[in-house]
Amino acid sequence: MRFVGSVGCAFILSLAVTNARAQQPTPPEAPLTLAAATTAALTANPASTSARLQLVQAQARVAQAQAALRSQITLSSSVAGSNGALLPSAGPPEHETFGSVVNTVTVPLPLGHKPRLAVQQASEQLAAAQAQLDSARLTLAGQVSAAYYDLLRKQALLQIAKDTADSATRQNTEAQKRFRAGDVPELDVLRTQVPMASAQAGLYQAENAVEVARQTLNGQLGRPLDTPISVADATPPSEPSLTLEAARTKARTSSPEVRAAEANERALTLARRSAGFSREPDYSLQASDTRSSDRTSFWRLDSVQATITMPLSDGGLARAQIKEADAALLAAHAQTETARQTAEVTVSAAYLNVRSSLRQIDAARTAQEIAQTTYDKTVRGYQAGLYPLTDVLTAQSALTQARIAYTQAIYDAATANAALNNALGILPQ
């Protein structure tokens, strides 16, 4: 009995512990950092997957070109039946039916320039594919950064909208109390109702903007759109560590778009050289074994031969291919120059935007502090009967706009800093 009682007590205690654990609140999910969001997007986003598969295709093309430099052996077999008639002077038999089997092994010899140029061209195309993958990753990272900071911006603006709505409601309540006490006319009550309604409308708009921004970020991360998400706040950006000229130089030399254009130009240069060898001979070795039942000839014949195939006329094909290759090479060179100019312009704009946004933060912070002081003093003056309600409403509107401007400046700076890092080929860390 004591054993049963002990077991029962132990079971009840275990059940209590289990229930207590089940009732414990689930710890909140840690806020998602920009680096973690970027990593998740690069792993799950279809655009990144597509770029990676293009790189795999380029790697396979290099392997194919390299295979042409190695031994490629071909075996062909043929079986034939023949019926022949001999001249009478040849002696008997005058007619003969016989069969033959021929086995031939062919080994092409990659002795010309074209096979090696094909390998070099495929290698340059692989370098271009790698640069395009880097470009796709940076493009996706830029989109994630924009969506990430947009969500933070919309959340901050939502908080401002809530504060504005609460302040407008308090003003309306205060005006009603003072009207009932006979301190202010009914007109003051009516005047507070307009900003209160406007603030409520702004709150609805801000809530919707946050939801849209959250769905946009979830879409970039490859997650269901309605998945709850918490993001870590932005770190205030600092002055760029590079000079403007250093940033331009780095963009001109290391931008993925520039590297892809340069690799493509090198590949087309090799293609132009290969077109110049269009009439280059082809070489091969052949070994054959013939077995026959023909009584008038060899019943077995083994032979080895070397073959050189030389095109004598192509009807102008080579000339047309060279002309096409020249035009493609000139176009590629122009695209490379365009890529360099675009990279330089992009990084310059991002660099200047960062410096300007940092100054805007300081100015917006000062404006917000002044607007807050003005509002506080105006409210105290209104409560003391020194200022009319319209002054309070004007000061509140100015404070709200100052807070919005300061918030915009903060996240504009964060977005500009992310764009600068993106232009320099730097992923969020």
User: Residue 282 in 3-state DSSP?
Assistant: strand
Task: State the Cα–Cα distance between residues 244 and 250, nearest whole angstrom.
Answer: 10
For residue 78, being part of any structural domain is answered with no
Q: What's the pLDDT at 22?
A: 47
Averaged over 152-171, what is the pLDDT? Answer: 93
Give 249-261 pLDDT, tens digit per residue: 999 988 999 999 9
Residue with tokens 């034939």: 80
Per cent of the chain over pLDDT 70 is: 91
For residue 80, being part of any structural domain is answered with no
Instruction: Name the residue among 419, 423, 428 with its Cα closest to residue 135.
Output: 423
Question: Among the ranges 10-24, 116-130, 274-288, which has the highest mean pLDDT value?
Answer: 116-130
The answer to whether residue 10 scores a pLDDT higher than 70 is no
Number of domains in the chain: 1
For residue 105, being part of any structural domain is answered with no
> Please, which pLDDT band fits residue 321 given cuts at 50, 70 and 90?
confident
Per cent of the chain over pLDDT 90 is: 49
Q: Taking all residues of the chain, what is their mean pLDDT, rounded to a whole number?
A: 86
For residue 289, being part of any structural domain is answered with no
The answer to whether residue 28 scores a pLDDT higher than 70 is no
Averaged over 391-414, what is the pLDDT? Answer: 92
| Host domain of residue 192 | 30-67+112-279+314-423
The answer to whether residue 91 scores a pLDDT higher than 70 is no
Q: What's the pLDDT at 222?
A: 87
- Using alpha carbons, list the distances in angstroms from residue 84 to 90, 93, 298, 419: 13, 10, 15, 84
For residue 209, being part of any structural domain is answered with yes
For residue 323, being part of any structural domain is answered with yes
Residues paired with residue 387 on neighbouring β-strands, in sequence order: none
The answer to whether residue 387 scores a pLDDT higher than 90 is no
For residue 103, being part of any structural domain is answered with no
CB burial readout 65-97, b (16+ within 10 A) else e: beeeeeeeeeeeeeeeeeeeeeeeeeeeeeebe
For residue 309, being part of any structural domain is answered with no
CATH number of residue 141's parent domain: 1.20.1600.10
